[in-house]
Amino acid sequence: MEKILCGVDLGGTKLSAGLVHPDGSILAKSVVYDHVAMDEDGIVNYITLIIKQLISANGLNETDLEGIGVGFPGHVRYRDGYTITTSNLKGFKNYPLRHQLAGNFRVPVTIDNDANAQAFCELKFGAGRGYDDLIFLTVSSGIGAGIVLNRKIYRGMTGTAGEFGHTIVDPDSDFICTCGNRGCLMGCACGLTLPARFRKKIENGMQTSLPLPVDFDYSRVDGQLILQGLEAGDPVSVEIVRDCADYIGIGIYNIFQVFNPPLVILGGGLMNLGDLYFSRILEKFHELARDMIYDPIAIVRSEAGADAGLIGAAALLLE
Protein backbone atom coordinates (compact mmCIF):
# COMPACT_ATOMS: atom_id res chain seq x y z
CA MET A 1 0.00 0.00 0.00
CA GLU A 2 1.34 3.44 -0.95
CA LYS A 3 2.10 5.84 1.85
CA ILE A 4 -0.21 8.85 2.15
CA LEU A 5 1.16 12.36 2.51
CA CYS A 6 -0.38 14.88 4.90
CA GLY A 7 -0.30 18.57 4.02
CA VAL A 8 -1.23 21.60 6.12
CA ASP A 9 -1.70 25.07 4.65
CA LEU A 10 -1.63 27.43 7.62
CA GLY A 11 -2.89 30.84 6.52
CA GLY A 12 -3.82 34.11 8.12
CA THR A 13 -7.53 33.59 7.43
CA LYS A 14 -7.84 29.92 6.44
CA LEU A 15 -6.33 26.71 7.76
CA SER A 16 -6.61 23.65 5.53
CA ALA A 17 -5.27 20.16 6.13
CA GLY A 18 -5.53 17.14 3.90
CA LEU A 19 -4.44 13.64 3.04
CA VAL A 20 -2.76 13.56 -0.34
CA HIS A 21 -1.71 10.75 -2.68
CA PRO A 22 1.87 10.93 -4.04
CA ASP A 23 0.42 11.89 -7.46
CA GLY A 24 -0.98 15.09 -5.94
CA SER A 25 -4.63 14.04 -5.77
CA ILE A 26 -6.44 14.74 -2.49
CA LEU A 27 -7.93 11.82 -0.57
CA ALA A 28 -9.64 14.02 2.02
CA LYS A 29 -9.34 17.52 3.45
CA SER A 30 -10.68 19.80 6.15
CA VAL A 31 -10.90 23.60 6.00
CA VAL A 32 -11.46 25.87 9.02
CA TYR A 33 -11.43 29.61 9.66
CA ASP A 34 -11.63 29.80 13.46
CA HIS A 35 -7.92 29.48 14.30
CA VAL A 36 -6.90 33.13 13.86
CA ALA A 37 -7.35 34.19 17.50
CA MET A 38 -5.40 31.20 18.86
CA ASP A 39 -1.80 31.37 20.06
CA GLU A 40 0.97 29.13 18.75
CA ASP A 41 0.30 26.17 21.04
CA GLY A 42 -3.42 26.41 20.43
CA ILE A 43 -2.91 26.25 16.68
CA VAL A 44 -0.54 23.26 17.01
CA ASN A 45 -3.15 21.42 19.08
CA TYR A 46 -5.87 22.33 16.58
CA ILE A 47 -3.80 21.07 13.63
CA THR A 48 -3.09 17.87 15.55
CA LEU A 49 -6.81 17.33 16.19
CA ILE A 50 -7.73 17.94 12.54
CA ILE A 51 -5.08 15.55 11.23
CA LYS A 52 -6.03 12.80 13.67
CA GLN A 53 -9.70 13.21 12.71
CA LEU A 54 -8.80 12.93 9.00
CA ILE A 55 -6.76 9.78 9.64
CA SER A 56 -9.55 8.15 11.64
CA ALA A 57 -12.38 9.19 9.29
CA ASN A 58 -10.60 7.59 6.33
CA GLY A 59 -9.85 4.27 7.99
CA LEU A 60 -6.12 4.89 8.24
CA ASN A 61 -3.51 4.61 10.95
CA GLU A 62 -0.79 7.11 11.69
CA THR A 63 1.74 4.60 10.31
CA ASP A 64 0.04 4.88 6.90
CA LEU A 65 1.45 8.42 6.59
CA GLU A 66 4.76 9.20 4.90
CA GLY A 67 4.89 12.34 6.99
CA ILE A 68 3.36 15.78 7.56
CA GLY A 69 4.31 18.93 5.67
CA VAL A 70 3.28 22.42 6.80
CA GLY A 71 3.25 25.60 4.73
CA PHE A 72 3.66 28.62 7.04
CA PRO A 73 2.78 32.26 6.18
CA GLY A 74 6.02 33.88 7.17
CA HIS A 75 9.75 33.45 7.66
CA VAL A 76 10.93 29.93 8.46
CA ARG A 77 14.32 28.49 9.42
CA TYR A 78 13.89 25.40 7.29
CA ARG A 79 16.78 23.39 8.69
CA ASP A 80 15.64 23.40 12.31
CA GLY A 81 11.90 23.95 11.76
CA TYR A 82 11.57 27.24 13.61
CA THR A 83 9.19 29.99 12.53
CA ILE A 84 10.86 33.40 12.73
CA THR A 85 8.08 35.94 12.15
CA THR A 86 4.67 36.26 10.55
CA SER A 87 2.37 39.23 9.93
CA ASN A 88 -0.78 37.11 9.70
CA LEU A 89 -0.96 35.15 12.97
CA LYS A 90 -0.46 35.80 16.67
CA GLY A 91 3.00 35.00 17.96
CA PHE A 92 5.20 32.46 16.19
CA LYS A 93 8.34 34.52 16.84
CA ASN A 94 11.24 32.05 17.05
CA TYR A 95 8.76 29.24 17.67
CA PRO A 96 9.79 25.54 17.31
CA LEU A 97 6.79 24.62 15.15
CA ARG A 98 8.27 21.43 13.70
CA HIS A 99 9.33 20.15 17.13
CA GLN A 100 5.99 20.98 18.74
CA LEU A 101 3.95 19.30 16.01
CA ALA A 102 6.28 16.30 15.69
CA GLY A 103 5.82 15.63 19.39
CA ASN A 104 2.19 14.71 18.70
CA PHE A 105 2.93 12.20 15.92
CA ARG A 106 5.23 9.26 15.13
CA VAL A 107 6.04 10.37 11.56
CA PRO A 108 8.45 12.95 10.08
CA VAL A 109 7.33 16.59 10.02
CA THR A 110 8.69 19.29 7.71
CA ILE A 111 7.96 23.04 7.85
CA ASP A 112 8.51 25.57 5.07
CA ASN A 113 7.31 28.94 3.86
CA ASP A 114 3.89 28.69 2.19
CA ALA A 115 5.10 30.23 -1.09
CA ASN A 116 7.82 27.56 -1.31
CA ALA A 117 5.17 24.89 -0.83
CA GLN A 118 3.01 26.38 -3.59
CA ALA A 119 6.01 26.70 -5.90
CA PHE A 120 6.83 23.04 -5.41
CA CYS A 121 3.22 22.10 -6.11
CA GLU A 122 3.34 23.97 -9.42
CA LEU A 123 6.65 22.31 -10.29
CA LYS A 124 5.33 18.80 -9.60
CA PHE A 125 1.68 19.01 -10.58
CA GLY A 126 0.86 22.41 -12.12
CA ALA A 127 2.02 25.02 -14.61
CA GLY A 128 5.69 24.31 -13.84
CA ARG A 129 5.74 20.74 -15.10
CA GLY A 130 8.57 20.35 -17.59
CA TYR A 131 10.56 23.30 -16.23
CA ASP A 132 13.76 23.16 -14.20
CA ASP A 133 13.66 26.80 -13.06
CA LEU A 134 10.68 28.97 -12.11
CA ILE A 135 9.43 31.65 -9.76
CA PHE A 136 6.03 31.33 -8.11
CA LEU A 137 4.59 34.65 -6.91
CA THR A 138 1.60 34.54 -4.58
CA VAL A 139 -0.54 37.67 -4.23
CA SER A 140 -3.23 37.60 -1.55
CA SER A 141 -3.33 39.08 1.97
CA GLY A 142 0.46 39.02 1.67
CA ILE A 143 2.94 38.75 -1.20
CA GLY A 144 5.73 36.20 -1.34
CA ALA A 145 7.59 33.99 -3.76
CA GLY A 146 8.96 30.50 -4.08
CA ILE A 147 12.15 30.14 -6.10
CA VAL A 148 12.88 26.85 -7.89
CA LEU A 149 16.34 26.39 -9.41
CA ASN A 150 17.35 23.07 -11.00
CA ARG A 151 14.08 21.59 -9.72
CA LYS A 152 15.04 22.37 -6.12
CA ILE A 153 13.63 25.06 -3.85
CA TYR A 154 16.19 27.80 -3.27
CA ARG A 155 15.95 28.93 0.36
CA GLY A 156 19.08 31.04 0.77
CA MET A 157 21.48 31.25 3.68
CA THR A 158 18.86 31.75 6.42
CA GLY A 159 16.01 29.90 4.72
CA THR A 160 14.09 33.10 4.02
CA ALA A 161 14.79 33.64 0.30
CA GLY A 162 11.85 34.69 -1.85
CA GLU A 163 10.49 37.57 0.24
CA PHE A 164 9.84 39.69 -2.84
CA GLY A 165 6.90 41.25 -1.03
CA HIS A 166 9.43 43.27 0.96
CA THR A 167 11.38 44.60 -2.00
CA ILE A 168 10.89 48.37 -2.39
CA VAL A 169 8.93 49.38 -5.48
CA ASP A 170 7.76 52.89 -4.47
CA PRO A 171 9.70 54.67 -1.70
CA ASP A 172 7.29 57.63 -1.93
CA SER A 173 4.19 55.47 -1.47
CA ASP A 174 1.43 56.54 0.92
CA PHE A 175 1.14 52.96 2.15
CA ILE A 176 3.19 51.47 4.98
CA CYS A 177 3.89 47.74 4.88
CA THR A 178 3.25 45.50 7.90
CA CYS A 179 7.05 45.26 8.24
CA GLY A 180 7.13 49.01 8.93
CA ASN A 181 8.81 50.08 5.69
CA ARG A 182 7.31 52.42 3.13
CA GLY A 183 6.94 51.28 -0.46
CA CYS A 184 7.25 47.51 -0.15
CA LEU A 185 5.59 45.57 -2.97
CA MET A 186 3.38 43.95 -0.32
CA GLY A 187 2.48 47.30 1.23
CA CYS A 188 1.55 48.69 -2.18
CA ALA A 189 -0.26 45.77 -3.80
CA CYS A 190 -1.48 43.04 -1.44
CA GLY A 191 -5.10 42.45 -0.46
CA LEU A 192 -4.65 44.20 2.88
CA THR A 193 -4.16 47.53 1.06
CA LEU A 194 -7.58 47.41 -0.62
CA PRO A 195 -9.56 49.14 2.19
CA ALA A 196 -7.05 52.01 2.47
CA ARG A 197 -6.87 52.44 -1.30
CA PHE A 198 -10.65 52.53 -1.61
CA ARG A 199 -11.06 55.05 1.21
CA LYS A 200 -8.25 57.27 -0.11
CA LYS A 201 -9.83 57.49 -3.58
CA ILE A 202 -13.21 58.42 -2.10
CA GLU A 203 -11.57 61.04 0.15
CA ASN A 204 -9.85 62.46 -2.94
CA GLY A 205 -13.24 63.03 -4.55
CA MET A 206 -13.57 60.00 -6.79
CA GLN A 207 -17.15 58.69 -7.09
CA THR A 208 -18.02 55.02 -6.75
CA SER A 209 -21.00 53.51 -8.55
CA LEU A 210 -21.34 50.79 -5.92
CA PRO A 211 -24.50 51.18 -3.77
CA LEU A 212 -22.67 51.70 -0.48
CA PRO A 213 -24.35 53.28 2.56
CA VAL A 214 -23.25 56.74 3.66
CA ASP A 215 -21.72 55.33 6.86
CA PHE A 216 -19.99 52.45 5.06
CA ASP A 217 -17.08 50.92 7.00
CA TYR A 218 -14.19 50.93 4.52
CA SER A 219 -12.36 48.26 6.52
CA ARG A 220 -14.89 45.84 4.99
CA VAL A 221 -13.48 46.38 1.51
CA ASP A 222 -12.00 43.12 0.22
CA GLY A 223 -11.27 41.36 -3.04
CA GLN A 224 -14.86 40.21 -3.37
CA LEU A 225 -16.21 43.77 -3.19
CA ILE A 226 -13.61 44.97 -5.69
CA LEU A 227 -14.57 42.10 -8.01
CA GLN A 228 -18.23 43.15 -7.76
CA GLY A 229 -17.12 46.67 -8.61
CA LEU A 230 -15.19 45.45 -11.65
CA GLU A 231 -18.21 43.54 -12.94
CA ALA A 232 -20.36 46.66 -12.46
CA GLY A 233 -17.83 48.96 -14.12
CA ASP A 234 -17.20 50.91 -10.92
CA PRO A 235 -14.41 53.43 -11.70
CA VAL A 236 -12.93 53.26 -8.18
CA SER A 237 -12.61 49.47 -8.31
CA VAL A 238 -11.17 49.55 -11.83
CA GLU A 239 -8.53 52.11 -10.87
CA ILE A 240 -7.55 50.20 -7.71
CA VAL A 241 -7.07 47.00 -9.70
CA ARG A 242 -4.94 48.83 -12.26
CA ASP A 243 -2.83 50.46 -9.53
CA CYS A 244 -2.16 47.14 -7.77
CA ALA A 245 -1.50 45.32 -11.04
CA ASP A 246 1.05 47.95 -12.06
CA TYR A 247 3.04 47.30 -8.89
CA ILE A 248 2.97 43.55 -9.49
CA GLY A 249 4.21 44.16 -13.04
CA ILE A 250 7.09 46.22 -11.61
CA GLY A 251 7.83 43.46 -9.11
CA ILE A 252 7.97 40.81 -11.83
CA TYR A 253 10.26 42.99 -13.91
CA ASN A 254 12.62 43.20 -10.91
CA ILE A 255 12.47 39.43 -10.50
CA PHE A 256 13.48 38.93 -14.10
CA GLN A 257 16.40 41.33 -13.77
CA VAL A 258 17.75 39.26 -10.87
CA PHE A 259 16.93 35.67 -11.88
CA ASN A 260 16.05 35.71 -15.60
CA PRO A 261 13.76 32.68 -15.14
CA PRO A 262 11.94 31.07 -18.09
CA LEU A 263 8.67 31.05 -16.15
CA VAL A 264 6.83 33.11 -13.53
CA ILE A 265 3.60 31.66 -12.15
CA LEU A 266 1.08 33.95 -10.46
CA GLY A 267 -1.22 32.59 -7.77
CA GLY A 268 -3.08 33.70 -4.66
CA GLY A 269 -6.48 35.18 -3.92
CA LEU A 270 -6.06 38.43 -5.87
CA MET A 271 -5.70 36.47 -9.10
CA ASN A 272 -9.47 35.98 -8.79
CA LEU A 273 -9.79 39.62 -9.87
CA GLY A 274 -9.71 38.21 -13.39
CA ASP A 275 -8.55 39.23 -16.83
CA LEU A 276 -8.28 42.99 -16.26
CA TYR A 277 -5.90 42.42 -13.37
CA PHE A 278 -3.78 39.80 -15.16
CA SER A 279 -3.63 41.64 -18.48
CA ARG A 280 -2.63 44.88 -16.73
CA ILE A 281 0.23 43.03 -14.97
CA LEU A 282 1.50 41.79 -18.35
CA GLU A 283 1.06 45.23 -19.89
CA LYS A 284 3.13 46.90 -17.16
CA PHE A 285 5.85 44.27 -17.36
CA HIS A 286 6.21 44.59 -21.15
CA GLU A 287 6.15 48.38 -20.86
CA LEU A 288 9.30 48.11 -18.72
CA ALA A 289 10.88 45.16 -20.54
CA ARG A 290 11.18 46.82 -23.92
CA ASP A 291 14.11 44.73 -25.14
CA MET A 292 13.29 41.66 -27.26
CA ILE A 293 15.46 39.57 -24.94
CA TYR A 294 12.40 39.16 -22.68
CA ASP A 295 10.14 37.66 -25.35
CA PRO A 296 10.81 33.98 -24.48
CA ILE A 297 9.82 34.54 -20.83
CA ALA A 298 6.41 33.14 -19.85
CA ILE A 299 4.16 34.74 -17.22
CA VAL A 300 1.19 32.48 -16.50
CA ARG A 301 -1.54 31.90 -13.97
CA SER A 302 -1.41 29.08 -11.45
CA GLU A 303 -2.87 25.76 -12.54
CA ALA A 304 -2.88 24.17 -9.09
CA GLY A 305 -5.85 26.14 -7.78
CA ALA A 306 -6.98 26.84 -4.24
CA ASP A 307 -5.41 23.66 -2.85
CA ALA A 308 -1.88 24.47 -4.08
CA GLY A 309 -0.66 25.29 -0.57
CA LEU A 310 -2.03 22.10 0.93
CA ILE A 311 -0.79 19.83 -1.89
CA GLY A 312 2.56 21.60 -2.01
CA ALA A 313 3.09 21.25 1.74
CA ALA A 314 2.46 17.52 1.40
CA ALA A 315 4.72 17.28 -1.66
CA LEU A 316 7.62 18.82 0.31
CA LEU A 317 8.00 15.37 1.81
CA LEU A 318 9.03 14.16 -1.66
CA GLU A 319 11.65 16.86 -2.28
Q: Give the phi and the psi of residue 168 in degrees, each rounded to 5.
A: -85, 125
Closest CA to 185 of 276, 246, 104: 246
| Mean pLDDT value across residues 145-174 | 93
DSSP state of 158: S
Q: Is the pLDDT of residue 220 over 80?
A: yes
- pTM, two decimals, is 0.90
Q: Is the pLDDT of residue 1 over 70?
A: no
Residue 181: predicted pLDDT: 92
Q: Report the mean per-residue pLDDT for the chain.
A: 93
DSSP state of 84: E
Q: Is the pLDDT of residue 96 over 80?
A: yes
Q: Is the pLDDT of residue 87 over 90?
A: no
Residue 157 burial by Cβ neighbours in a 10 Å radius (0-12, 13-18, 19+): exposed
pLDDT-derived band at 138, boundaries 50, 70, 90: very high
**What are the chain's domains?**
4-125+307-318 (3.30.420.40), 134-302 (3.30.420.40)
Contact assessment for residue 82 and residue 96, using Cβ atoms and an 8 Å cutoff: yes
| Model confidence pLDDT, tens digit, residues 16-28 | 999 999 999 999 9
Residue 295: predicted pLDDT: 67
Strands in the chain per DSSP E: 4-10, 15-20, 26-32, 65-72, 75-77, 82-85, 109-113, 134-139, 143-149, 152-153, 263-267, 298-301
- Rounded distance, CA 128 to CA 134, Å? 7
DSSP-based three-state secondary structure for 6: strand
